[in-house]
């Protein structure tokens, strides 16, 4: 659906309540003030980098507390195994067979990289509808800080042209590796950081993002707001102002920095949660915490960042796409619960739309998981969740129930794994289940559309 047509369906200056099939949760959310929404996302954080997911060496007391006060999910998936497409799925509700940005770099039609001046970056276009636009037109004030990755400077893909009222951070992934950069983008203006000028290291960008988030909440807490806090921790280049509380550990310097990065982020998640309580909006704010893809192993093998999962960032094994996901909403989401329901980033758009009491766009691939968040009965197994790395190689992955299918190249046969029995995806059982293979093959014929950014053949 084109943006102008979508806006006509929900009205400008008026809010249409969600249709009855979304259930009573949406009607309740629409009564009185709708809930504030905070979505916090780490960058390359592994499934097992948090204490509440089994980490033994890195201290994450505030995120662990968040899990104890909310619901922790064991089978939530990112939108992709790398940064930009995962964020595109999150923002548009479309999986990587449909969303605009399907890889970090495109093969045709994109724009040069902001940092290098070379390459091909695919920006979101004006007709793409983001979750920020949906919430903005539902009456929310919208803000984002951290890493964007969906549009370089001057393109239609920058956050302030995609539904965000306020924006502060890195537009480009290559820029985001510098924790002590000498500039950030504030809305559509380049803001120079004097403390980092000429090689100085006085302004740590993660801390600036936290301050922006806290200030945004303070300024807008009297009306519904949506805040997307896309931290760059613990993405490389890993660096941190100090390595406490690990400075005296008999670890490598890299391991100390990696652990200190995550603990610093944990501290700041706690600061955000504390502020909600101080402002008296804790019970009217739903907070999500996750990672943008699997862990990259930047801290070294001692942390076992992806736990029992096979693989890392960049691959479609479970370790590349499964993410920690914690959702906290005091009084609405029961405390201390663990859910094994399978869902993924494409589901965020319809879920947040339901919370806001409006309809999402029709051309999305996700479904609302609000009943699951609230502990209500919801069947999520009997649907397909899809990922791809686009042509010319076209790697494809589908999950359906406990089955996971993989095609490693267009000319390769389909592999099938039973995740309930083979979490590490070591036993291809395609030959034993021809009916399952046939079901996946039928789905794959309609799973995707071609993109001009990734032509199927060299042109």
Domain ranges of the chain: 3-384, 386-444
What's the confidence (pLDDT) of residue 5? 52
What's the confidence (pLDDT) of residue 12? 35
CA-nearest of 346, 296, 288 to 40 is 288
Per-residue model confidence as pLDDT tens digits over 376-417:
999 999 999 999 999 998 999 999 999 999 999 988 999 999
Provide the pLDDT confidence category of residue 458 given band limits of 50, 70 and 90. Answer: low
Provide the pLDDT confidence category of residue 133 given band limits of 50, 70 and 90. Answer: very high
**Is residue 299's pLDDT more than 60?**
yes
Provide the pLDDT confidence category of residue 172 given band limits of 50, 70 and 90. Answer: very high
Report helix, strand or coil for 181.
Answer: coil
Are 108 and 399 in contact by the 8 Å Cβ rule? The answer is no
Tell me which of 79-83, 364-368, 392-396 is least confident: 392-396
Q: Residue 281, exposed/middle/buried by CB under 10 A (0-12, 13-18, 19+)?
A: middle
DSSP one-letter string for 312-337: -TTSSSHHHHEEEEEEE-TTTSPTTE
- Other CB atoms within a 10 A radius of the CB of residue 411 amount to 8
pLDDT mean over 111-117 = 95
Provide the pLDDT confidence category of residue 33 given band limits of 50, 70 and 90. Answer: confident
What's the confidence (pLDDT) of residue 31? 44
Strands (E) located in 193-293: 225-230, 285-291
Q: Please indicate whether the domains covering 3-384 and 386-444 agree at the CATH topology level.
A: no
What's the confidence (pLDDT) of residue 32? 58
Provide the pLDDT confidence category of residue 25 given band limits of 50, 70 and 90. Answer: very low
What's the confidence (pLDDT) of residue 365? 98
Written out in words, the top-level CATH class of the domain with range 386-444 is: alpha beta
Report if pTM > 0.85: yes
Provide the pLDDT confidence category of residue 457 given band limits of 50, 70 and 90. Answer: confident
**Is residue 17's pLDDT more than 50?**
no
pLDDT mean over 276-299 = 98
pLDDT mean over 270-284 = 98
Residues 6+ apart with CB under 8 A from 267: 62
What's the confidence (pLDDT) of residue 13? 34
Tell me which of 8-17, 108-117, 192-201, 318-327 is least confident: 8-17
What's the confidence (pLDDT) of residue 54? 98
What's the confidence (pLDDT) of residue 184? 98
Note the Cα 52 to chain centre separation in Å: 19
What's the confidence (pLDDT) of residue 425? 98
pLDDT over 90 for what percent of the chain? 91
Are 270 and 24 in contact by the 8 Å Cβ rule? The answer is no
**Is residue 27's pLDDT more than 70?**
no
Are 63 and 289 in contact by the 8 Å Cβ rule? The answer is yes
Per-residue model confidence as pLDDT tens digits over 206-234:
999 999 999 999 999 999 999 999 999 99
In eight-state DSSP terms, residue 238 is P
In DSSP terms, 387 is beta-bridged to 397
- CA–CA distance, 456 with 217 (Å, rounded to integer): 45
**Is residue 73's pLDDT more than 70?**
yes
Phi, psi (rounded to 5 degrees) for 415: -100, 150
Domain 3-384 sits in which CATH superfamily? Alkaline Phosphatase, subunit A (3.40.720.10)
What's the confidence (pLDDT) of residue 456? 87
**Is residue 18's pLDDT more than 70?**
no
Label the pairing between strands 141-147 and 225-230. Answer: parallel
């Amino acid at each position: 659906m084109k943006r102008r047509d979508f806006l006509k369906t929900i009205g400008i200056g008026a809010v249409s309540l969600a249709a009855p099939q979304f259930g009573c949760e949406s009607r309740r959310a629409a009564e009185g003030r709708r809930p504030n929404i905070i979505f916090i996302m780490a960058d390359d954080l592994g499934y097992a980098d948090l204490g509440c997911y089994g980490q033994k060496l890195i201290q994450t007391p505030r995120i662990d507390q968040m899990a104890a006060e909310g619901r922790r999910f064991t089978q939530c998936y990112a939108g992709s195994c790398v940064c930009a497409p995962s964020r595109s799925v999150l923002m548009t509700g479309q999986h990587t067979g449909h969303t605009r940005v399907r890889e970090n770099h495109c093969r045709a039609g994109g724009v040069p990289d902001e940092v290098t001046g070379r390459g091909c970056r695919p920006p979101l276009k004006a007709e793409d509808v983001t979750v920020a636009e949906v919430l903005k037109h539902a009456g929310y004030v919208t803000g984002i800080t951290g890493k964007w990755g969906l549009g370089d400077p001057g393109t239609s893909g920058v956050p302030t042209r995609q539904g965000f009222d306020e924006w502060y951070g890195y537009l480009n992934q290559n820029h985001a590796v510098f924790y002590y950069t000498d500039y950030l983008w504030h809305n559509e203006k380049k803001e120079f950081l004097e403390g980092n000028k000429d090689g100085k290291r006085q302004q740590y960008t993660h801390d600036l993002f936290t301050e922006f988030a806290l200030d945004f909440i303070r300024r807008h807490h009297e009306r519904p707001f949506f805040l997307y806090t896309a931290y760059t921790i613990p993405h490389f280049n890993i660096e941190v102002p100090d390595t406490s509380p690990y400075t005296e550990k008999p670890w490598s310097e890299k391991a100390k920095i990696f652990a200190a990065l995550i603990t610093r982020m944990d501290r700041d998640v706690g600061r955000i949660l504390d502020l909600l309580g101080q402002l008296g909006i804790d019970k009217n704010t739903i907070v999500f915490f996750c990672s943008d893809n699997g862990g990259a192993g930047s801290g070294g093998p001692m942390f076992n960042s992806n736990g029992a999962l096979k693989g890392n960032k960049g691959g479609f094994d479970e370790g590349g796409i499964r993410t920690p996901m914690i959702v906290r909403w005091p009084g609405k989401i029961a405390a201390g619960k663990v859910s094994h329901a399978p869902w993924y980033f494409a589901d965020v758009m319809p879920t947040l739309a339901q919370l806001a009491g409006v309809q999402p766009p029709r051309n999305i691939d996700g479904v609302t998981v609000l009943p699951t968040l609230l502990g209500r009965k919801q069947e999520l197994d009997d649907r397909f969740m899809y990922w791809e790395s686009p042509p010319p190689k076209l790697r494809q992955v589908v999950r359906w129930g406990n089955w996971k299918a993989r095609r490693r190249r267009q000319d390769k046969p389909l592999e099938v794994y039973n995740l309930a029995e083979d979490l590490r995806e070591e036993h291809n059982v395609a030959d034993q289940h021809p009916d399952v293979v046939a079901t996946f093959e039928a789905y794959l014929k309609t799973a995707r559309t071609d993109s001009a950014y990734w032509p199927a053949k060299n042109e």
